Amino acid sequence: MGTTAWLALEVERPVVHYLPGVPDADTTVADFVHHTSGLPRLPATMRDRLFGDPYREPVGVPLHLAAAVPATPRGQFVYSNLGYALLGALLGALLGALLDEVHGDWFAAVRQHVLDPAGISSAALVPADADRVVAKLFGRTIQPWALGESSFAAAGGVWSTFDDLCRYAFSTNTGCRRLTARDSSSGRRQVGPAVGGAELVSVSGARNGVRPGTIGA
């Protein structure tokens, strides 16, 4: 979403130019992209728990601009999924989509500006269950967060294969190298990419499956 916003918007413009109703009139699009808007990771109305999915409750619930109240001074880095969700709303509003549409035109903009030029075809917000590669704990499948189904989808709800993640890395000049990971349950070795120095742990079949939140388009 940050890459798309940088390509499609005038990033030094105040956000209120695109989204009237945002409480802080001085916050720019670049502040959202760089996590320097002062917004918290999640709105105060959402429960941010160590265990459990904080994005399950807002599925189908519109993103309210009034919740975009800074918690720290503008200019300081504070990672904010709320800020990136607002970037999605901003692009949606600019392209004529409704703010409460989870799968609005912002994702079409991501495809146009980032995914299609990079040759990425697997990216999806809600992939089929059979296509997902999910982690297990003590032999039980861990339910993936509902980020891609919620109004916070633009904050990292994109699923993709490892190979397409590698294509994204090359397209943004962040680099990509191959790594080998051992699946602890089967002992088989799987291959997946590492991007920007962050290694992605592979699970059985992960090369052909999709993993959540891997493309920061």
- Domain definitions of the chain by residue range: 2-199
Residue 64: closest CA among 145, 125, 151? 151
Mean pLDDT in residue range 165-191: 55
Q: 84-88, 145-149, 163-167, 179-183: lowest mean pLDDT where?
A: 179-183
Q: Percent of the chain, pLDDT > 70?
A: 74
> What CATH number belongs to 2-199?
3.40.710.10
Q: Lowest-confidence range among 17-26, 47-56, 140-149?
A: 47-56
pTM assigned to the model: 0.74
Map tokens 């807002």 to a residue.
58
Q: Please write the tens of the pLDDT for every residue from 112-124.
A: 888 999 999 999 9
Instruction: Annotate 184-213 with b (16+ C-beta within 10 A) or e (fewer).
Output: eeeeeebebbbbeeeebebbbebeebbbbe
pLDDT of residue 137: 82
In the predicted model, what is the mean pLDDT of residues 34-56? 86
First-to-final CA distance of the chain: 4
